[in-house]
Chain A
Amino acid sequence: MLDGFLALYIFMLAAFTGYEIISRVPVILHTPLMSGSNFVHGIVLVGAMIALGHAQTPLGIGIGFLGVLLGAGNAAGGYVVTERMLEMFKSSKKPGDKA
């Protein structure tokens, strides 16, 4: 188990990181970026796997199974749609971007 205050520090620093990353993003990337961040929280899949891995009762296993199913959907779906959107941006022949 993580020490409470250590976790608090991680929470704080991660929040600042997220805020900084997004703060200078051009409007044209808002949708792909939202989709990309949607993919990143697909890491919930890992948590769902751990939860299912530790579940003992049939009810717990059932809910855990559902969780893994949903988490896998989040991760895979988020990746595919983000990748498809960003793939199109390479069709610009100009090396410079229009930020």
Chain B
Amino acid sequence: MSWLPTLIKACYFLAALLFILGLKRMSSPRTARGGIVWAGVGMLLAVLATFALPGMHNRGLILAAVVIGVSAAWWTGRRVAMTAMPQMVALYNGMGGGAAAAIGAVELLGFAAAAHVSFAMSAQVGGGVSVGDTFSYRQLPDAAPLWLALVGALIGAVSFSGSMVAFAKLQGWMDKRFVFPGQRLLNLAVLVLAVACLVAIGNDLLLPWLIAAFFVLALLFGLMMTLPIGGADMPVVISLYNAFTGLAVAFEGFVLGNEAMIIAGMVVGAAGTLLTQLMAKAMNRSIGNVLFGSFGAVAGGAAQTIEGAQKPIEASDAAVMMAYAERVVIVPGYGMAVAQAQHKVWEFAKLLISRGVKVKFAIHPVAGRMPGHMNVLLAEAGVPYDLIADMDDINPEFPNTDVALVIGANDVVNPVAKTDPASPIYGMPILDVSLAKNVIVIKRGRGTGFAGIENALFYADNTRMLYGDGQAAAGELVTQLKSIDG
């Protein structure tokens, strides 16, 4: 069976190649769908090859765990709503981080066991000759795998517990922010302790209790680091943990001598880091600011108070206004998706288009909960690409727009991002909706947005508020629009 190891190596090679080609295809809309299939084939090859590895024990257990894990994740992934995608990515990513940490734990425990055997041997032989010393020394792990196992385990564990907190927050199981005085100092202390354990173990202090303490501290740090981060910053954090997991996988891959893991992990680590930077840039936040500055808790002076009152409008008036408009821009936000209103909104848009109104959808880079999330949600409703405009393309068109219909978007259309330096969102690029001749905002109530900031747009002279649940309001608009003709 001398061909078997070669065949397995070839499978890993093919898997790595397919991952890279798959990701490449995923970065263009036309080939994206094929991309995931290519990567999927690569994964299948790699997993099958691993089953065939010679000298593997516990094959039954492995098979059982694979079957359980795959079916559970497949089942949840199939039935989850599109709006919940960001937290599902967080959840699956956290699982990957946890798996990397588990590999690190198994390897470290193995190193520890080997080291103890060697001590016992040196004690036996140690009657007087120095042979025992050299003998025991050989049982200690090499420096590179030991350190990389440790670093990978640290990153993986942080990614695991951090992603779980991110998941819980986006799922609404946890308060959006959890802050207390001295929090940063405490977090730093936990990190320092975890690193201290890492250094001690790295210097061959392979004690099982120390390894256990190391993992507890690492998990604790991921948890505590994520707790104070607000919901609006979560996409950046999830993306960062995605890159973390990639790195952890690459490092553990080195420990196991598995090239496919090294390549796939490292590619994701680098791609994820870049993606994180792109997202942070789109939100006008630095990564450091996201991690260490608490969103909303701004020190620099009180925010300007907003004068005026919100002016309501009836659905019938709103429908007439848009029916006889020349240009309408629809600005959807996460609130629309939560209310499952995208189908109704598209139906309404189609009716307007059939009346000769020029309709466009304007998408802020971070509309939804992640860059590109809103595009997915609109695509789900059947909105074609060419009606969807990016922020940079649509912003110059707002002054020529008769009606801007804002539905479920809040912070991304808030003019205080341009006018009020004391506002936490100051400097964030926004859609210049307030420049449109008329603005209609569909909103459930008078509350503030995801970031908890008052929106000056709602009080502007050219803004009318259409209160109601997104889907009901959009349905009402459809009915009213039909009744104009009928």
Contact surface of A with B, Cβ cutoff 8 Å: 1-2, 4, 7, 10-11, 14-19, 21-57, 59-61, 63-95, 97-99
Contact = CB atoms under 8 A, between A and B. Distances in A.
B359 to A, nearest CB: 16
B50 to A, nearest CB: 5
A87 B464 CA distance: 37
Nearest to A17: B267
A82 B73 CA distance: 13
A85 B252 CA distance: 30
A22 B24 CA distance: 8
Contacts of A66: 98, 102
B336 interface: no
A91 B382 contact: yes
A73 B96 CA distance: 8
B257 interface: yes
Contact of B69 (A29, A70, A92): A70
Interface stretch (B313-321, B325-333, B364-372, B465-473): B364-372
Given A14-B263, A15-B270, A41-B245, A54 B29 contact: no
Among A15, A27, A47, A71, chain B packs the most CB atoms within 10 A around the CB of A47
Contacts of A57: 109, 113
A25 B19 contact: no
A3 to B, nearest CB: 10
B29 A97 contact: yes
Given A44-B252, A69-B68, A10 B107 contact: no
Contacts of A70: 69, 95-96, 98-99, 102
B94 to A, nearest CB: 8
Contacts of B15: 43
Interface residues of B, number: 121
Contact of B70 (A15, A18, A39, A75): A75
Q: Is the interface of A mostly helix, strand, loop or mixed?
A: helix
16 contacts: A7-B262, A16-B270, A27-B375, A30-B370, A31-B89, A39-B39, A44-B100, A45-B43, A47-B249, A49-B56, A54-B55, A59-B109, A70-B96, A78-B92, A79-B36, A88-B380
Given A22-B275, A48-B103, A71-B69, A14 B262 contact: yes
A78 B29 CA distance: 18
Q: Is the interface of B mostly helix, strand, loop or mixed?
A: helix
B93 A38 contact: yes
Contacts of B73: 72-77, 80
Interface in B254-290: 254, 256-275, 278-279, 282
Going nearest first, the 3 A-B pairs with the smallest beta carbon separation are A72-B69, A67-B102, A80-B77
A54 B372 contact: no
A85 B271 CA distance: 19
Given A25-B27, A34-B242, A63 B105 contact: yes
A30 B66 contact: no
Given A34-B239, A37-B275, A49 B50 contact: yes
A4 B142 CA distance: 11
A21 B23 CA distance: 7
Given A49-B51, A50-B258, A72-B70, A37 B272 contact: yes
A77 B76 contact: yes
Given A27-B282, A63-B105, A40 B23 contact: yes
Contact of A11 (B66, B80, B257, B262): B262
Contacts of B35: 36, 86
Given A18-B266, A97-B30, 12 more contacts: A14-B270, A16-B270, A18-B268, A21-B27, A31-B370, A40-B246, A43-B46, A46-B46, A53-B53, A74-B99, A77-B73, A99-B28
Contacts of B273: 19
Contacts of A22: 23, 27, 270-271, 274-275, 278
A45 B36 contact: no
A26 B110 CA distance: 45
Contact of B61 (A15, A65, A71, A86): A65
A39 B38 CA distance: 12
B99 A71 contact: yes
B213 interface: no
Nearest to A85: B376
